[in-house]
Structures are given as structure tokens and as C-alpha cells.
Amino acid sequence: MVGNQSASVTHNQRVVTPKIASRPVAATLIIAAGLLALFFSLGISISLGAADIKLGTVWEAVFAFQPELTQHQIIQELRIPRALVGAMVGASMAVAGSIMQGMTRNPLAEPGIMGINAGAAFVLALVFAFFPGLSYHMVILYSFAGAALATMIVYGIGSLAPGGLTPLRLALAGTVVATLLQALSSGIAISFKVGQEISFWYAGGVAGSKWSQVAILAPWIAIGLIGAFIMARSISILSLGEELATGLGQKTGRVKLIGSVIVLLLAGASVSAAGPVGFIGLIIPHLTRFLVGTDYRWIIPSSAVLGALFLVLADIGARMVNPPVETPIGVITAVIGVPFFLYLARRDRRGL
């Protein structure tokens, strides 16, 4: 959750001024190496598929595009948008998870576990059933609304319960909200016979991504990510604890509100593009904190880069596990994510 320094701050012991552990050198290295790795894995992702294409051809298709070549067309029309959507979704989910964990000081906070993904998915099921053929612009707006719905339910319960949103409560509330929304979605799917469309999308994946999707998605995710970078310092302070943040003169209510809106933008846009892919928002922030310390000015850019890398790699994995069938990305992330979740659940810390 928060690093070693701030762990020593308890209610009895507020004299200790906490320091935000920051490792700028490590963080810079990670961002640089991460970007390099991301660049290469994007190349691999683009070259990989039913028709194997050499990396050299990929380079040519990008920098010396010849429209009459089929391979160049496959790369331009199918592979590049897929890789880009993957990178955007990975970065968004990871940053959304980072912000949530920082704001709530809860190690299990994550869009998937909190039911936010299921909320977006539920509203999309409604859209598939009642407004088929809606433009992708509108689909994104609807999935923001769905994400907001689930967040409000889970937060609402947290604020009603005495003692606030402990990790156990969060996991229970998120699971149950997700169960409820999934039940409603599958009820809609069965009644309106749109089950196949929904289940295809529900399994998660970036396979069918197009340039139009990239174009619509990019501004939302850019706004979310830039907003997150701007908020980074405030989130670092909030991650020290609400009382302390107030003591340092922070308007915590406002920070939480803006932070939540950013989470909704990032999670809602990602889900609309790739379906409810879980666990990225759980794993990457923990990994990043382990590597770069507890300063969110470094955590947020690092987790954006690592999240993008992670999802691009997961997408490559999804194609390689069982070719020519594509394994849903959600399964790949769960295979890595569930053991990590279990590790966190086993760990004894206060509040758990």
C-alpha cells in the first residue's frame, strides 16, 4: 500500500514526519528501459499473427508504406491498431489502479476487483440490447456511466459501513456488485439474444481494434493520463493518510473527487475497448511501488509504461498459447493476477 516510511505513522505516533520514498534514478531507468521494451514488443506484436511477417517488413510498412503490398496493408489496417489499443488500455488500467490504491490506501483497490469493469460491461450489455449500432463515441460515454455506477455503489457501501472500506469489505462489495451486474447482463443477454456479441466482448481482448477506435479512444485516455500526472503530487500526499493530508493543507475531498473522475475516464475507456480485463490495475501498481518507491510523481508514469508493456505482452501471449485460436486476454492476466491476489490476501497487515 504505502511504503516503509509511512507505515510507521500510526494514530498514536503522529510526531514522525513521513517522507515519501522516491527513487528518481531507478524510476528514470525503468521508464527508459520500459519504453524501449515497449517499442520492441509492439514490433513483435505487429509481426505476429496468422500471417507471419518479418520485423524488417514491419519497419518498412510503418516507415515506407506501399499500399499495393498485402502484408503492408495487414500491418497498417489490423496489426498496428491492435497493438496501439493494447498499449493504451494497459497504461490506463495500470494508472487507474495506481490512483485507486494511492487514494484509498487499500492494497486490493483495482478497477476489476471493485466491480468498475463489470459496471461498464453491464451498461454496454444494455446498449447492445436496446441501441444496437450505436456509434463508438457514444459507446465510450455509456461505459463511463457504467463505471461510475459501480464505483458509486461500492464507495457508497464503504462510506456507510462503520470503519470504512477495509480490504475485506472492498473485495466483498466489489465481488458482489460485479456478480449482480453480471447476473443482470446475462439476463439481458439471454432475453434479448445478444449473448454471443456480449460474451465475445466480455472475454476481453483487443483483436478487432481499428484505427477509428484508436482515434476515438486516444483523446479520452490522453486526458485521463495527463490528469493523473498533474494529480500525482496530491495523490502522494493523500496516500499518507487523510488526516495527515488535511494537516498538510490539502483539500482531500477535491483531490478524491478529481481522482475518481480520472479513474472513471481511464477504466471506462479501457473497458469499452478491450472488455473487462482484470488484474493489471492490481499487479502493476504494486510492482511499480516496489521498484520506484512511494512517490506518485514517479509511480504514475512508470506504471503507465509498465502497464502498456504488460498488456502488449499479454496480447502476444494470447495469440501464442493456442494458435490459431486466440485465448482471451482476461485469462492471461488472471493466470498471473490470481496468484498475486492470493499472495496479497495471505499477507497480514493492519486493516486486512
Partner 1 sequence: MNQVSIQQAEGRRKARTYIVMAVLAVLIIICFVVSMSTGQVRLTPIDMFKTLVGLGTAKQEMILFDFRLPRIVIAVLVGAGLAVSGAILQGVSRNGLADPGLMGINAGAGFAVAAYLMVFAKGGGESVLLLPFVALLGAFSAAGLIYLVAWKNGVTPIRLILVGIGVGLAFAALMILLSIKMDPHTYLYVEVWLAGSIWGSNWTYVAVLLPWIFLLLPFAMYKAGSLNILGLGDQAAAGLGTAVEKERLILLCTSVALAGSCVSIGGGIGFIGLVAPHLARQLVGPRHERMLPATALLGSLLLLVSDFAARNLMAPSELPTGIVVAVIGAPYFLYLLARSKA
Asked if 169 is part of the footprint of partner 1 (rule: CB under 8 A), the reply reads yes
Contacting residue, 65, 191, 254, 320, with partner 1 by CB under 8 A: 191
Which of 121, 173, 217, 271 is in the footprint of partner 1 by CB under 8 A?
A: 173
Q: Determine the size of the site formed for partner 1 (CB under 8 A).
A: 44
When asked if residue 335 is in the footprint of partner 1 (CB under 8 A), the reply is yes
With CB under 8 A as the contact rule, the residue among 141, 195, 229, 250 that binds partner 1 is 195
Of these, 33, 138, 190, 226, which contacts partner 1 (CB under 8 A)?
A: 190
Task: Provide the minimum distance between the beta carbon of 334 and partner 1 in the complex, in angstroms, as a whole number.
Answer: 3
Q: Which string of DSSP letters, residue by residue, matches 31-61? A: HHHHHHHHHHHHHHHHH-SSS---HHHHHHH
Asked if 62 is part of the footprint of partner 1 (rule: CB under 8 A), the reply reads: no
Task: Give CA–CA dist 279/74, Å, rounded.
Answer: 31
In angstroms, give the least distance from the CB of 161 to partner 1: 5
- The reply on whether position 7 binds partner 1 by CB under 8 A is no
* DSSP conformation letters of 215-241: HHHHHHHHHHHHHHHHHHHHHHHHTT-
Based on the shown chain and the rule CB under 8 A, indicate whether residue 64 belongs to the binding site for partner 1: no
Whether 206 and 315 have beta carbons less than 8 Å apart is answered as: yes
317 binding partner 1? (CB under 8 A): no
Give the interface segment with partner 1, choosing from 2-10, 79-87, 195-203, 301-309 (CB under 8 A): 195-203
Quick check: 17 binds partner 1 (CB under 8 A)?
no
- The answer to whether residue 123 forms part of the interface with partner 1 (CB under 8 A) is no
The verdict on 346 binding partner 1 (CB under 8 A) reads: yes
Q: Of 298, 161, 174, whose CA–CA distance to 239 is shortest?
A: 298
Give the C-alpha distances (Å, rounded to integers) separating 229 from 6, 36, 186, 218: 22, 21, 37, 16
**CA neighbor of 166 nearest in space, from 96, 237, 109, 240:** 109
How far is the C-alpha of 88 from the C-alpha of 109, rounded, in Å?
20
Q: Are 114 and 101 in contact (CB under 8 A)?
A: no
Neighbouring C-beta atoms of residue 105, cutoff 10 Å: 19
50 touches partner 1 by CB under 8 A: no
Number of residues that this document lists for the chain: 352
Contact residues: partner 1, CB under 8 A: 153, 157, 160-164, 166-169, 171-173, 175-177, 179-180, 183-184, 186-187, 190-191, 195, 199, 203, 278, 325, 327-328, 330-331, 334-335, 337-338, 341-342, 345-346, 348, 352
